[in-house]
Amino acid sequence: MKIILLLILIPLILFSESSNMPVCNTQTALQALPPRIFQQTTIDGIGQNTYVTRFFHNKLGILGSEFGRCYLNFFDPVQVAKNTLYFGLIPWLFLSYKILTLKKWKFVIPILIFPVLTFFNIAFPVGYFHKFFAIIGLVLMAKVKIFPKNILPLIILLAIFLRFFKLAYVPVSLYWDEVSLGYNAYSILKTGQDEHGKFMPFTNFAAFGDYKPPLYIYATVPSVAAFGLNEFAVRFPSALFGVLTVYLTFQLARKLTENRIIALIAALFLAISPWHLQFSRGAFEGNLGLFFSTLGIYLFTQIQKNKWLLIPSLLSFIAAMYTFTGQRLFVPFILLVLFIQFRKDLIKNLKTTILAIAIFSIFFWPLYQFATQTIEGRLRFDEVTIFKDLDPINESVRYRQKDGLTYLSDIIHNRRFFYLHEYLIHYFDAFNPSFLFSHGDVNPRLSIQGTGELYYIDLPLILAGIYFLFKLKAKYRFLIIGWLLISPLGPATARETPHALRMIHILPTFQIIAAFGAYHLYKLIKYKKIFIFVVSSCLLLNFATYIHIYYSHWPTTYSGFWQYGYKQLVAAIKPHYQQSDSIVVSNYLGRAYVYFLFYMPIEPKDYHETKDLFRDNFAFIHVNGFGKFHFIESADSTKISGVTTFAMPPGSSPAGAQIINSVKDPTGKVIFEISQLSK
């Protein structure tokens, strides 16, 4: 266990970016000398004994202090922390403390001499000194059994680090939904109304006409209040609840497997899972929904201890359904599994059960009304579901016609069978190994491409885990396997499968199963050290590849999928806002308006008063403009008067307009041309 952690932490420290120290050598010290002496003697020299002046302002003293400045720079805690990814500071201090208290003078002297090298222009990688120092400290900490006692805080710290590090910069920019969530939260904060002026929506936020569930937006309100309207604030709830989910996984796995070590491994696996990291690092409602459904399941498993926990458990499931649409087709199924698993306890406390279900129904009712009885609520489901496809019907008709429309053929080639067939194809997609292990979701917003949703090493561990779950007759195997199998039932109704986001509630079953497998394999195998070494180095290799692609390649390669450029566009237009009478922006990348609302930022009240929007046939809401802004498809359709600033795709600025600026994507391709025209 600690070896795995070490193997993850050490490269993290070693390959983190080195930060540079200020240049400091004999030359800079000598340069600093004359001005200091001059400055000090000019004030001093008047009416004072020369020896006194020399005593206080001798060259030796000043050189000494300049030398001290360089020397102590080396031990600047900010530098040490930057070079060791902040958490490395703790082992760094630990090692220093140990060396000093154990009186290892033979180490102290070289360490104290190192900084002198920098002083004499001897090239010396200072950053690496700190890195190695921290790593040795880390190994020492592991050896003196400081962290095996309680490894959970370390896992949580790792989870925090992986979820919050550069949160505002990777993913590279905010995509539509994130901005929309953020601006709706801002609007709620300022006016109590959503972007369309509806007061405190309960079942849905209309947003783009996609009728977003409300809870993520309400969760973002305090974050926007605290951090302002920016990337960090919008993503903060997701990252925070992602960390909490890791903790919850530990608790849940401990309950389900009745083994603390397996629980720790499961939490670690979730902390570094690409699937979970992907959605914890963006404002994805699904991730908050996952937290609530996991909390619901965890609380449900506790009802043996305290029957009243059933109520918060069901409320948590309600919260999940108010957070993410995908949960609405998961909660009923998982409740069924849970009811079967805990049937005895539920029947024993029948009154509590009935009360809890009553409360559940009260809160569920408005959502049920909205989702099934209104056009808006049904629209999105109808849009994505396979059951509105006509192909299976046509297919069925074709087969039956070939068979001559016999009675038997009506049964065999019944359209329902065709739909079932279609549905099963989509269901099995969820367990497609290529999706799980090698490629991940095809949508570059939902996975980084190039690594799977799980690590390769998870494959044998998961298989082993399933084997051991049944072989050892684990107490809660029905719940774990049931959870795994019912998770794709909902997402399989949609056309796009496998879909990592809609199926996010399958987490953390894979991690718990893999942890179960890993633990029992370890118990079984004779060469334990070799096993640990092989597993952890495979995991490490996988993890390193993932982290590298995530931070170095993915942001630039797929910036378009994150609507990169809108923020830069708003920044480029902002200086011209005051002087322009109108600002015309091409809508060719879609939904430009919300970025202007978000990044300007526009007061929600002003927006409510001046917005100009229309609904299309699919109930999507398009914004034509507000205030000075106009969003259009092509440049010709505008009537110009006064000073107009244009933001157009390259090459399509209106004739006669003067191009003043351009916005490029990370690869250098121009996405917007900004021009000005006055009449």
Partner 1 sequence: MKYFLVKKHLGEIFLLVLIIFLAGALRIWQIDKNPPALFIDEVSNGYNAYSLLKTGKDEYGNFLPLTIRAFGDYNPALSAYLLIPSIAVFGLNELAVRLPSALLGTLTVAAVFFLALKVFQSRKAAFLSSFFLAISPWHLQFSRYDHEANFMLSFSVIGITLLLYSVKKKSLLILSALSFGLCLNSYHASKVWVPLIVLAIAIIYHKELLKNKKYLLISLVIIVISALPFMINIQNSLIRAQSVGIINSKESPLPLFLNGYLSHFAPNFLFIEGDLIGRHSVSGMGQLYVFELPLILLGIIQILKTKNKSQEMKFILAWLILAPIPAALATPTPHALRSLNLVPVFAMLSAFGLNSIIEFKIPSLFKKVAILALGFVAFYNIATYFHLYYKHEPTLKAADWRYGYKQMVEFVNQVKKDGQTVAITNYFGQPYIYVLFYTKFDPKLYQELGNKDKIGNIEFFGASWQKPNDQKAILVRPAWQIPNDPKINIMKKIYGPGQSDELFFVITEE
Q: Count the helices and strands in the chain (H runs, E runs).
A: 32, 7
Specify the stretch interacting with partner 1 by CB under 8 A; choose among 26-34, 74-82, 351-359, 474-482. Answer: 74-82
Residues 87, 157 contacting (CB under 8 angstroms): yes
Contact (Cβ atoms closer than 8 angstroms) between residue 641 and residue 656: no
Q: How many CB atoms lie within 10 A of CB 580?
A: 18
Out of 100, 146, 354, 530, name the contact with partner 1 by CB under 8 A.
100
Indicate the residue among 228 and 656 with the shorter CB distance to partner 1.
228
3-state secondary structure of 112: helix
| Pair 403, 464: CB distance under 8 Å | no
According to the binding rule CB under 8 A, does residue 81 interact with partner 1? yes
Report yes or no: 381 and 495 within 8 Å, Cβ to Cβ.
Answer: no
CB 200 within 8 A of CB 257: no
97 sits near partner 1 (criterion: CB under 8 A): yes
Among residues 364, 383, 374, which one has the least CA distance to residue 206? Answer: 374
Judged by CB under 8 A, the residue of 124, 147, 218, 232 near partner 1 is: 232
Residue 226 vs 472, nearer CB to partner 1: 226
Q: DSSP E strands: which ranges in 525-606?
A: 582-586
Closer residue to partner 1, CB minimum distance, 166 or 421: 166
Residue 548 corresponds to which amino acid? H
From 35-43, 283-291, 526-534, 656-664, give the range in contact with partner 1 by CB under 8 A.
Answer: 35-43
Provide the Cα torsion 122, 128, 131, 132; round to 10°. -80
Query: Is residue 114 involved in binding partner 1 (CB under 8 A)?
Result: no
Site string for partner 1, 590-619 (x = CB under 8 A): ------------------------------
Residue of 82, 130, 131, 163 interacting with partner 1 (CB under 8 A): 82
Question: Does 39 engage in binding with partner 1 (CB under 8 A)?
Answer: yes
Q: Does the protein bind partner 1 through residue 31 (CB under 8 A)?
A: no
Token output for 417:
């069978």
**Residue 415 is a binding residue for partner 1 (CB under 8 A):** no
CA count, 13 A, side-chain hemisphere, 557? 13
Check residue 89 for interaction with partner 1 (CB under 8 A): yes
Residue 375 half-sphere exposure toward CB, CA atoms < 13 A: 5
Which of these ranges, 63-71, 176-184, 408-416, 549-557, lies near partner 1 under the rule CB under 8 A?
63-71
* Residue 662 phi, psi dihedral angles, 5° rounding: -145, 160
- Based on the shown chain and the rule CB under 8 A, indicate whether residue 575 belongs to the binding site for partner 1: no
Instruction: Calculate the dihedral angle through the C-alpha atoms of 603, 219, 587, 596, rounding to the nearest 10 degrees.
Output: 30
- Of 23, 43, 393, 525, which lies in the binding site for partner 1, with binding defined by CB under 8 A? 43
- Give which of 327, 329, 304, 305 is closest to 316, Cα–Cα: 327
Nearer to partner 1 by Cβ, of 164 and 596: the residue is: 164
State the minimum distance, in angstroms, from the CB of residue 24 to partner 1. 10
Q: How many residues bind partner 1 (CB under 8 A)?
A: 33
The CB-of-243 to partner 1 minimum distance in angstroms stands at 13
Using the minimum distance from each CB to partner 1, give the nearer residue, 160 or 397.
160
With CB under 8 A as the contact rule, the residue among 107, 124, 147, 227 that binds partner 1 is 227
Which of positions 164-203 make contact with partner 1 (CB under 8 A)? 164, 166-169
Shortest distance, CB of residue 229 to partner 1, whole angstroms? 11
Smallest gap from residue 604 Cβ to partner 1 (A) = 20
Q: Least CB distance from residue 550 to partner 1, whole Å? A: 17
Distance between CA atoms of 458 and 543, rounded to whole angstroms? Answer: 12
Residues 6+ apart with CB under 8 A from 511: 249, 253, 266, 267, 269, 270, 273
**CA 474 to CA 461: how far, in whole Å?**
16
Please tell me whether residue 77 binds partner 1 under the rule CB under 8 A: yes
The Cα-based distances of 439 to 284, 340, 606 in angstroms read 21, 35, 46
Stretch that binds partner 1, among 10-18, 120-128, 221-229, 472-480 (CB under 8 A): 221-229
Residue 144 interacts with partner 1 (CB under 8 A): yes or no: no
Q: Give the position of tokens 């590090």.
A: 165
- Report the residue number, 74 or 342, with the smaller CB distance to partner 1: 74
Nearest CA to 91 out of 46, 146, 50, 48 is that of 146
Span interacting with partner 1, options 95-103, 214-222, 454-462, 613-621, rule CB under 8 A: 95-103
Q: Is 146 in the site for partner 1 (CB under 8 A)?
A: no
CA dist., res. 537 & res. 486, Å (int): 33
Contact stretch for partner 1 (CB under 8 A) within 42-50, 297-305, 425-433, 503-511: 42-50
Strand order, beta sheet including 621-626: 612-615, 621-626, 629-632, 582-586, 643-648, 670-678, 658-664
**Cβ(306)–Cβ(479) under 8 Å?**
no
Of 277 and 461, CB closest to partner 1? 277
Stretch that binds partner 1, among 34-42, 444-452, 500-508, 574-582 (CB under 8 A): 34-42
Interface with partner 1, residue 40, by CB under 8 A: yes
Residues at the contact surface with partner 1, assessed by CB under 8 A: 36, 39-40, 43-44, 46, 56, 61, 65, 68-69, 72-73, 75-78, 81-82, 86, 89, 97, 100-101, 164, 166-169, 226-228, 232
